[in-house]
A and B are shown apart, each in its own frame.
Chain A
């Protein structure tokens, strides 16, 4: 069966925008930190006709990388991008091809961590009233948005067209007053996203506070109205922000809020 653009883009988002949040989760969430403190595993994800990624746990840190890991302890194979996506929506299982002795880790330990990530990525109104939860959910939402934008600009026809023709420069997305922040670098067609501040951004998007950022990033408010009212301030080279906003608008096509 031919892989659809939707399946392929979603597979990239699942690995490099959603799963990537584990890097911060094990640092910022005490429960996740405790859980993973002594993990020493590298999980390889190989998708036929799709992306390849690895997830490494070592010394209490987590790294999500592209391509093949230098040495994996567990290797999971997926028949297609859709197969991978179905695993992320808990409708399918991966095919383990290495690390059979680690199956208990995969079956019991690892899901507890992904459940924790899901808890922070899928807020309820009640949970968002907790300032700690709001801060973490906003951070993960911001990072997911930035990483997803880079993936989509590379792999989705609409987003590629939106960002085509932009020059070089970076866009800073920052929640005031103290962050979190992420930035997206455009370099003659190559687009990458990173957590944290940019050195000399060409364009800036400042969200007034965590509550505004949360509502804005989750598309719960009219973006234009938010800008006009000063809840979200934009400065600098607008073509970058204009193109980026069209890409960000498309995220719910793949990742339901």
Chain B
């Protein structure tokens, strides 16, 4: 099978490294793409489930821009809605009417949501949720999960990361996922001082198997929060609209007070949302929180179209079913080559690991081999599928997966 080369990507990166810290920073940094020589660093264009790099290589995209792409790149309905709004105006002196429509849509659709607040990035909403919880309770402590990702604000990164001081995270208490007893302990050790419990619907750390909630976990967390007046916050930024259009809490059957959304709500247009229960609406109103572009109308129009389309086609069902077919097929192909591919997390955003090598080197080699053949896989992060992935993508992916396993076998296990 033909393998790709990335001369133009690398030349661009050389230029970038001179004028941009890290060349490419943050979650799109090439550093965790191992080996970097197997990956494109830039995307020149994208349509549907695929993107093309500056060298003209086309990839079936299983990272979906790390989540925002949910209906496919350049989706006609979303782009048309954005285009119409752009003609009317984007960043104006007052919010556009579409903001109200979008808030009404989200509160209609998301289970338990009585109001919606819009920003740009997921981290905007997690920080706002924490502020609302503290405003509502007058308490300091936030209980979160070890390895849980809630953005890049200093309180989310924690001490031990550059630019973060001890005081930034001193009121954040991290406990293991699925450990209800640990939550109870923190609550009893901090009487009347726990403002919120924040977690993702299921645990999806990087570099580690993802974990679903244990039976009854969320119900017990919810009950304790109610009993102790603790605000229950769900960070649905990654899972949102990939498990259930009514919110991932609906999928798992519990009722949070605040839910953070981003990624899938805009199909790539920059927008995030915090939705909440009526009881917290006044507290949310009291917290002053805003940004220069948070009222931009184009992303709101795009989000409205995206959410309507996800609801119309039952996007999560499509993605879960596609993911299921993809993963079952890949596990079988791996088995045929003598490898064990372990899948964890939801099929619409799975985390994969070859258990044959605990150091992950084999997984890194395999993901690299797949990527340089045209199926963009990463070894450190959960993948994402979209509603635009087709049966043709599926078959092509299986061919690539098969060839890549053959290549790493030939290279020595």
| Given A236-B359, A236-B361; A228-B24 close (CB under 8 Å) | yes
Does B161 belong to the interface (CB within 8 Å)?
A: yes
Interfacial chain A residues near B146, Cβ < 8 Å: 165
Residue of B nearest to A249 (CB): B162
Given the interface pairs A201-B359, A202-B359, the reply to whether A234 lies near B29 with Cβ below 8 Å is no
| A202-257 CB contacts (< 8 Å) to partner B | 202-204, 222, 224-225, 227-230, 233-239, 243, 246, 249
Known contacts A224-B23, A225-B23; A230/B17 CB under 8 A:
no
| Chain A residues whose CB sits within 8 angstroms of the CB of B361 once the complex forms | 204, 235-236
Instruction: Tell me whether A238 and B207 are in contact (CB under 8 A).
Output: yes
Across chains A and B, the number of contacting residue pairs, with CB separation under 8 Å, is 84
Interface size class of B (residues with CB under 8 A): 20 to 34
**Which secondary structure dominates where chain B touches chain A?**
loop
Residues of B contacting A228 in the complex (Cβ-Cβ under 8 angstroms)? 13, 17, 23-24, 29-31, 36, 41
Segment at the interface with B among A7-15, A112-120, A154-162:
A154-162
B159 adjacent to A158 (CB under 8 Å): yes
Chain B 1-19 interface residues, beta-carbon cutoff 8 Å to A: 10, 13-14, 17
Tell whether, in the assembled complex, residue A237 and residue B359 are in contact, meaning their CB atoms are under 8 Å apart. yes
- The reply on B364 being an interface residue by CB < 8 A is yes
Which residue of chain A has its CB nearest to the CB of B159?
A: A161
Does A164 have its Cβ within 8 Å of any Cβ on chain B?
yes
Partner pick for B36 among A203, A230, A238, CB 8 A cutoff:
A230
Q: Is the CB of A234 within 8 A of B34?
A: yes
Among residues of B, the one whose C-beta sits closest to the C-beta of A158 is B160
Contact, CB under 8 Å: A239 / B36: no
**Distance of A166 from chain B, by nearest CB (Å):** 11
Q: Which of A202, A222, A246 contacts B358 (CB 8 A)?
A: A202
Inter-chain contact B161/A246, CB cutoff 8 Å: yes
With a CB–CB cut-off of 8 A, which chain B residues contact A236? 359-361, 364
| B357-379 with Cβ < 8 A to chain A | 358-361, 364
For B158, the chain A residues whose CB sits under 8 A away are 161
B-side interface residues toward A, CB under 8 Å? 10, 13-14, 17, 21-25, 29-32, 34-37, 41, 146, 158-162, 166, 206-207, 358-361, 364, 380
